[in-house]
Amino acid sequence: MTTQLKLLTGKREAGIVPTLEVTRLSKVFKTGEGPVTVLRDLDFTVGKGEFICVLGPSGCGKTTLLNLLAGFEKPSAGKALLNGRPIQGPGPDRCVVFQEDTLFPWLTVEENIAFGVNGVPKKEKQEKVLHFLDLVGLTPFQDYLPREISGGMKKRVSLARVLILQPQILLMDEPFGALDAQAREEMQDLLLSLWNQFHHTIVFITHDIDEAVALADRVLLMQKDPGAIAEETRVRLPRPRERTAASFQDYCKALYQSIKKPR
């Protein structure tokens, strides 16, 4: 009954079918000093092709949320459904771009991108890999090892190696947090241009307000102690978004004030 209702409201909000449905999702960690509730009763849906940013201060459980969605951890209560099916364990239908560098250091750029592609004839695989190399602009660097390329380029490889698997949802955990401002903006633009072409469903975790406003259809603002969704903001700005525009800055200010609001 509730699921149906959620489906309906999700439809009405996004105007599209929800891909991800999160219902009363909670996570409690057992520690030496007793249980700690990291996430409490999260409820949200993500529509197909929707770009969601989860914004929150550090320690609010953003990464735990992502680990639950990726299947690296199990929820203590509640559930997360992907296309109606409960999420159980990690799998290539929910690909992750990590905050840290997780490329395989013994594989070249090209081999890293090919890593997850299996069960495809060799020639087809090769063509696919070259296509995705091209999409992220790394064709000249295909034979380089991760240690020989810059942080921004590594992120491009991380993006390409999951996009090539055509996941149903793309989970990104502060992927550009460690980059310098210029490289970060470049990566945001690249991600948006890819999203414009392929309409991936994306859950993007960040603590950077500007980044959330630049990218998201909807921003889920999280609070901490315990981690929960405090507010939801729909960013009604036309794309491509102009970071210096007054309307852009208004969204940033509003989100900033929401974060500062005592709860």
User: Measured in whole angstroms, how far is the alpha carbon of residue 11 from the centre of its chain?
Assistant: 21
Q: Which is nearer to another protein, 91 or 226 (CB)?
A: 91
Q: Which is nearer to another protein, 78 or 90 (CB)?
A: 90
Query: How far, in Å, CA of 120 to CA of 213, rounded?
Result: 39
Q: Which is nearer to another protein, 144 or 248 (CB)?
A: 144
For residues 146 to 175, the per-residue mask of contacts with another protein, x marking binding by CB under 8 A and - elsewhere, is --x------------xx--x----------
Give the number of other CB atoms < 10 A from CB of residue 162. Answer: 22
Strand 218-223 to 202-206 pairing: unpaired
Which residues is 52 bridged to in the sheet? 203, 218
For residues 198 to 237, the per-residue mask of contacts with another protein, x marking binding by CB under 8 A and - elsewhere, is ----------------------------------------
Assess 248 for contact with another protein (CB under 8 A).
no
For residues 40 to 79, the per-residue mask of contacts with another protein, x marking binding by CB under 8 A and - elsewhere, is ------------------------------xxx-------
Residue 223 identity: Q
Assess 177 for contact with another protein (CB under 8 A).
no
DSSP for residue 227: B
185 burial type by CB count under 10 A (0-12 exposed, 13-18 middle, 19+ buried): middle
Q: Which of 76, 128, 144, 207 binds another protein (CB under 8 A)?
A: 144
Could you tell me the strand order of the sheet in which 94-97 lies? Answer: 94-97, 169-173, 202-206, 51-55, 218-223, 228-234
Contact residues: another protein, CB under 8 A: 70-72, 89-92, 94-96, 98, 100, 102, 104-108, 111, 115-116, 118, 143-145, 148, 161-162, 165
